[in-house]
Amino acid sequence: MNRELKKLVGRTLKSQNLGVLATLEDNNPYESLVAFISSEDLKYIVFTTAVYTRKYANLKNHPPVSFLVDTRSNSARDFHECVVVTALGNAREIVRDERDENLRLYLKRHPYLEEFVRSPSTRLFRIRVKKYIVVSEFQNVSEFNI
Amino acid sequence: MSRSLTSDMFILSIADIRKEHRSQVGGKGFALAHLRARGLNVPKAVCLTTEAYRGFVVETGLDKKIRLEIHRKRLDNARWEEMWDTALRIRNLFLRAAYPQDLSRALREGLDDHFSGISVAVRSSALGEDSAEVSFAGIHDSYINIVGTEAILKHIKLVWASLWSDAAILYRNELELDLDRSVMAVVVQEFVAGNSSGVFFGKNPMDGTQSVVEAVYGLNQGLVDGTIEPDRWFLRRKDGRILTHTPALHTQSIQPSPSGVSLVKIDPKEYKAPPLTPKRIQRVFELGEEAEESFGFPQDVEWTFRKRTLFTLQSRPITTDSEDRSKDQKSWYLSLRRSFENLRTLRSRIETHTIPEMIREAGAMAKQNLSALSDGKLADEMQLRKKTYIHWVDVYWKEFIPFAHGFRLFGQVYNDKIQPEDPYEFVELLRPRSMHSLERNRILGEMAALIRGDETLARRIKDGRLKDVKHPEFQKLWKGFWEEYANLKVFDEPDTEAVERFSGLLLRLAESSPPQEKKKTGPARKPIDPELFFSKFIREDQDYARGLLDLARFSYRLRDDDNIYLGRIERQMNRAVHEGRKRLRQRFPVRYLEFSDEQIIKCLRDPEHTPRVMRKKSLRLPKATWQARQLRGQPAGKGLATGAARVILEDSELFKFKKGEVLVCESVDPNMTFVVPLAGAIVEKRGGMLIHGAIIAREYGIPCVTGIADADRAIRTGDSVTVDGFLGMVIVAPGKK
């Protein structure tokens, strides 16, 4: 079961370019849509943000985040076909040695974001995922730690 | 892309093109195939289908990058400078993207088969282009006399890029330019080095009973881009009888050269005869008739004679669109895209005639003692000066604005040769040693330094006694500054108030650190060696390369200095207005300040006249009902800075400018550059990477974002603003001071 579930999560994460990042601002939730990649072992989710954004400040102040990816198509089929994956974990800025490799992988997936990503005012972040919550077939909810 | 790509998937010989291929080969490719099938003499050619374009942009990810570029800003709000910027960036993306291996192999195979060692022309063939409904000749690019597969492949990319040229973006609605559907085919055609060439218009748009032939010696590129004046014949359409001939002076000709084509001087004595004999004109006419018969519409045909053989290079219908586009904004913009030769001629005129004349005119007006004139004479003088000013504004639009294309042309050539990572790298080579606005700031800096080092001087200025300052060095600087640079638009008449404002500015400049100690927020500049650019040209083209850089530098500098020259004329016009207004002070103690120029003239001429003053509309814009937090524009000056915003709606507000504030304005006029050394960052409504504000911001290493149309509504004076000059973003924190 766990293996199937992991496969489903992997497929879902690979199928989408954008996910919803939830951070905390003055104890209130704050969501942003970000372009991301995930690692093969599902342990990491990598995304970028400009340094003067609200989410950057939130991430610096409060690393725990929630990250949602789904396969909606905005049709009635969504109620039985849509898969929703929520990752819970801590986000931290990727610096120095780790940066180059993560940047390379990120740009491989999102080559059109090169100018944005390479800007000195853009930061690369990585979520170390601790838990995945998966919703499928409307109300089937499963979770696993990673 | 699969591994089994073959050249026949992307390349069709025009001999094999059939009706069903039309959507793959574009208008030009299809027309050539059609004419060839009818037996016309068309040079050997192949067509790269739209599949090749699609394969290239999808495989390289360019499709997504183009999407980002095109959606950077709503094009409906974009100025032509911004469209040019977009096109420049897209062109550079094409240049820098390598062909995917399989596509490259397939194309090479096909091109080698057909054109190994043969010189070719690489021409655009867009879908819908050259149809009877719309014809936008010159929107997409073509290149001639290209030799070698490598060079052909590079020029194919440039032709593809021209699908997104500035002109194409400008006419995007008419061309139905669409990110998902727009594709480009390319015609690769054996190059014919003609002895005389030209165009044939089956039907003269001004007189339907006539046809027109235009011809030049050599190749017809010079004719097409307007560099060379052609001989022109009007023919009777029904039988080709010559009605009139307008000969041209044959002084220049476009000839093949090792790197493409060059403009060559020819001796008019040797080339006395017209480029076509009556017999050849008849052959061109017959060719046009055949083309028309073949397509069913009058054609616009490009042809060339190589010795006795007549070749058809391309043919398109004369558009049925009867709307006169010659006067609209778009065609005005297209008229700015000038050739190197044309720009060189314009430079010579500007340098030897226009600028000296502007200086002379402003100088003569400055010498005139206005206070000695009678009221009537002063009214005449006011009118005359206004007329003079309007004349020079007209010259500004006719000569200076088109001349700004000089540095843009250089930018394009530089990027074609160097393919730099940063498409604006070329600007580094254009940075002038001196610019009027920078020179003015240097003098201001010197005055500020004197104040900084001399307490007595500082006190005097603080007490509002700037004009009584006895400090000889300061006095000299001040006098020179006021006479040479203080433009009336912002400094206004040298009255107490203006001097007071100016004193405040000087004191603030003195309080801020001297420019050399000022820490620049932007990254360090990478020096560019012009020799690297020159080294990309063959020996024969060295003069062209150097001449182009020289022209571009002059054009870049003039983009700023022209405003200063015009400002001097404006100042003299305003001086007369101030004199007139001053004379009405006694007659209308308070209201004299509100009179328009026309009202002042009337009052001076008629001592009984009492003008009605209309209430002035407030310049304050209505407050936005929304709150902006993050605004996206163009990154025009690299760096990051946060500061309190100072929104400039009126020139007088410039004098309130404090050190570290973020300058928010319509555009940084060269006459207001003096506050830039105080600014922490610049935000402009007007868009473009190469507009004055962006140029000055880069000179001072200040972050700058341009093209935020709502900047003066979304940002209020006092808001805390962060300017991200890397990404072109402005983050607003309202109310935070």
Measured between beta carbons, which residues in chain B are less than 8 angstroms from residue A111? 61, 64-65
Nearest CB to A116; choose among B64, B727, B731:
B727
Measured between beta carbons, which residues in chain B are less than 8 angstroms from residue A106? none
Amino acid, single-letter form, for residue B671: N
Q: Which residue in B has a C-alpha nearest to residue A120's C-alpha?
A: B726
Measured between beta carbons, which residues in chain B are less than 8 angstroms from residue A53? 630, 731
CA distance A93 to chain B (A): 19
Return the HEC string of B79-129. Answer: CHHHHHHHHHHHHHHHHHCCCCHHHHHHHHHHHHHHHCCCCEEEEEEECCC
Cβ of A111 and B68 within 8 Å? Answer: no
Tokens of B689: 């990477």
Q: Which residue has the higher pLDDT, B549 or B327?
A: B549
- The pLDDT of residue B617 is 59
The CA-based angle B301-B302-B305, given to 5 degrees, is 120
Cβ of A121 and B640 within 8 Å? Answer: yes
Tokens of A134: 């998966």
Q: What is the mean pLDDT of residues B468-478?
A: 81
What CATH number matches the domain at B196-318, 3.40.430.10, 3.40.30.120, 3.40.50.10260, 3.30.470.20?
3.30.470.20
Cβ of B727 and A119 within 8 Å? Answer: yes
Q: What is the mean pLDDT of residues B301-306?
A: 95
Q: Which residue has the higher pLDDT, B487 or B272?
A: B272
Cβ of A111 and B630 within 8 Å? Answer: no
CATH of the domain at A27: 2.30.110.10
CA distance B673 to chain A (A): 27
Pick among A51, A114, A121 to test the B interface (most B CBs inside 10 A): A121
Q: Which residue in B has a C-alpha nearest to residue A49's C-alpha?
A: B727
Q: Which residues contact B341 (CB under 8 A, 6 or more apart)?
A: B227, B252, B263
Residue B37's pLDDT band, with cuts at 50, 70 and 90, is very high
Whole-prediction pTM value? Answer: 0.82
Q: Which residues contact B358 (CB under 8 A, 6 or more apart)?
A: B392, B565, B566, B568, B569
Amino acid, single-letter form, for residue A110: H
- The pLDDT of residue B327 is 52
Tokens of B400: 């200076």
The CA-based angle B89-B91-B92, given to 5 degrees, is 65
Quote the CA–CA distance of B413 and B430 in Å, as a whole number.
14
Pairing of strands B681-684, B662-665: parallel
Measured between beta carbons, which residues in chain B are less than 8 angstroms from residue A116? 727
Domain B630-733 top-level CATH class? alpha beta
Q: What is the mean pLDDT of residues B715-719?
A: 92
Eight-state DSSP code of residue B219: B
Find out whether B490 and B654 touch, Cβ atoms under 8 Å: yes
- The pLDDT of residue B516 is 46
The CA-based angle B164-B170-B173, given to 5 degrees, is 90
Domain span at residue A134?
Answer: 2-145
User: DSSP string covering B601-615, please?
Assistant: HHHHH-TT--PPPPP
Kindly report, residue by residue over B334-363, the tens digit of the pLDDT: 666 778 888 999 999 999 999 999 999 999
Torsion of Cα atoms, B529 then B532 then B533 then B538, to 10° = 150
- The pLDDT of residue B137 is 64
CB atoms within 10 A of CB B224: 21
Residue B621's pLDDT band, with cuts at 50, 70 and 90, is low
Cβ of A52 and B731 within 8 Å? Answer: yes
Backbone angles phi, psi at A42, to 5 degrees: 70, 5
Q: What is the mean pLDDT of residues B603-607?
A: 90
- The pLDDT of residue B654 is 84
Quote the CA–CA distance of B722 and B725 in Å, as a whole number.
9
- The pLDDT of residue A125 is 97
Quote the CA–CA distance of B281 and B200 in Å, as a whole number.
10
- The pLDDT of residue B322 is 44
Chain B interface residues (partner A, CB cutoff 8 A): 61, 64-65, 67-68, 523, 629-630, 638, 640, 722, 724, 726-727, 729, 731
If we measure between CA atoms, which residue out of B417, B5, B15 comes closest to residue B190?
B15
Phi-psi region of B39 (alpha: psi -120 to 50; beta: other; left: phi over 0): left
Pick among A25, A48, A52 to test the B interface (most B CBs inside 10 A): A52
CA distance B144 to chain A (A): 32
CB atoms within 10 A of CB B520: 14
Question: What separation in angstroms does the CA of B707 have from each of A114, B77, B168, B458, B635?
Answer: 22, 9, 20, 39, 9
Find out whether B252 and B222 touch, Cβ atoms under 8 Å: yes
Cβ of B64 and A112 within 8 Å? Answer: yes
Cβ of A116 and B722 within 8 Å? Answer: no
Cβ of B65 and A53 within 8 Å? Answer: no
Strands of chain A (E only): list them.
18-25, 28-38, 44-50, 64-70, 84-93, 122-136, 140-145
- Number of domains making up chain A: 1
Cβ of A52 and B729 within 8 Å? Answer: yes
CA distance B48 to chain A (A): 26
- The pLDDT of residue B325 is 46
Q: Tell the burial category of B718 from Cβ atoms under 10 Å away from its Cβ (0-12, 13-18, 19+).
A: middle
Domain edges within chain B: 7-190, 196-318, 341-605, 630-733
Nearest CB to B726; choose among A54, A111, A119:
A119
CA distance A96 to chain B (A): 19
Q: Which residues contact B123 (CB under 8 A, 6 or more apart)?
A: B28, B142, B143, B159, B186, B187, B188, B189, B314
- The pLDDT of residue B492 is 47
In the CATH hierarchy, which fold is given to the domain comprising B7-190? Dna Ligase; domain 1 (3.30.1490)
Measured between beta carbons, which residues in chain A are less than 8 angstroms from residue B629? 54
Measured between beta carbons, which residues in chain B are less than 8 angstroms from residue A121? 640, 724, 726-727
Find out whether B449 and B477 touch, Cβ atoms under 8 Å: no
Q: Which residue has the higher pLDDT, B285 or B133?
A: B285
Kindly report, residue by residue over B626-655, the tens digit of the pLDDT: 778 899 898 888 899 999 999 998 877 888
* A–B interface: beta-carbon pairs under 8 A: 36
Amino acid, single-letter form, for residue A127: I
Q: Which residues contact B702 (CB under 8 A, 6 or more apart)?
A: B520, B521, B522, B637, B639, B641, B676, B679, B680, B681, B682, B725
Find out whether B150 and B143 touch, Cβ atoms under 8 Å: no
% residues pLDDT > 70 (chain B) = 88
Block residue for tokens 């050849």: B280
